[in-house]
Structure 1
Amino acid sequence: MKISELEKRTGINAHTLRYYEKSGLLKASMRSVNNYRIYSEDDLITALFIKRCKECGFSLAQTAALLAIKHDKSLHVCAEAKSITESKLQEISQQIEQLQQMEGTLTELQAYCCGGQESAEFCTIISTLEAGK
């Protein structure tokens, strides 16, 4: 199948598919006489695997590591995939913590501001941010 068909079947745009190829995650099985990329059913499965990895938030490097495990399962153990997943989960937990702190700060800022039409000279949001509190 050509890249346009792979795009339709995966929901991944052609530009992104080319980027995945350039990054070494995906490789067209062959090229046509006109030098068009030709993808196989295995390439479709790989593209969908990459898409699911992206949906889970895995980085390109993490996705590459998971693909390596997928392609040579007999040379790898489950602990490798679990380690990558645990690492991603830890990253997400840290991001959630940071977002919760930001939410708390913004909630405080918003609560102290009247939101009225008074001059911003008296705005508690601006003065708090200026003071670095």
Structure 2
Amino acid sequence: MDMRTLKRGELAKEVGVSPETIRYYEQQGLLQANRDDNGYRRFEPGCIDRLKFIQRAQRVGLSLKEIGELLTLEIARGEHTCEEVKAITQAKQQEIQQKIDELQHMYDALTVLNNRCCGGSHSAEHCTILTALADTESSTEELVHEHPNTH
């Protein structure tokens, strides 16, 4: 076995992740190790770059499944097109935009609710926030489109 190969712990330390992370990536098929004569898993030095690829991809929000797809394309760049690669990142971008839209909708609804309430120290018996949330006839769509200046 080549002495330049790394044990799981050495690889983890080199990249700044836990050995459990390395083990998990192995289980997910993102990393592969060879076994030496003693049965230890040994990783080629190229696994460092692969781990850094995985980390960068995670930082931009890609899931391990999406990262696996990109790694498959990365391994055989000459057999794939930029269009295939871009389709993965565009799909993720659309997914993130949908989440942003949903969060904006929630934020707007909370703004309406908060603007309705005086926030005073008196009893919450007639609290407009609780009343609006308890109203089975209204929806969050209605909350966002209502005018928010009632207490």
Question: TM-score, with normalisation over the residues of structure 2?
Answer: 0.80
Partner of 1:130: 134
What is the one-letter code of the residue matched to 2:68? A
Q: How does 1:91-110 map to 2 (within 5 A)?
A: 91-110=95-114
Q: 2:28 aligns with which of 11, 23, 26?
A: 23
Q: Which is richer in helix?
A: 1
Alpha carbons of 1:129 and 1:74: their partners in 2 closer, same or farther (altered >3 Å)? same
Shift of 1:48: 1.1
Q: Which runs of 5+ in 1 are unaligned?
A: none
What stretches of structure 2 of length at least 5 have no aligned partner? 1-5, 139-151
In the alignment, the residues of structure 1 paired with residue 118 and residue 19 of structure 2 have an alpha-carbon distance, to the nearest angstrom, of 49
2:42 to 38, 51, 54: 38
The CA deviation at 1:32 is 3.5
User: What corresponds to 1:116 in structure 2?
Assistant: 120
Match of 1:68 in 2: 72
Matched, 1:48 2:52: yes
RMSD: 1.5
Structure 1, 11-20 or 92-101: larger mean CA deviation? 11-20
- Runs of 4+ off more than 3 Å: none
Q: Which moved more, 1:113-122 or 1:72-81?
A: 113-122
Q: Give distance in 1, aligned partners of 2:36 and 2:99.
A: 45
Change (3 A) 1:39 1:126: same
**Post-superposition shift, 1:49?**
0.9
Q: TM-score, normalised by structure 1?
A: 0.90
Q: Which has the larger radius of gyration?
A: 2
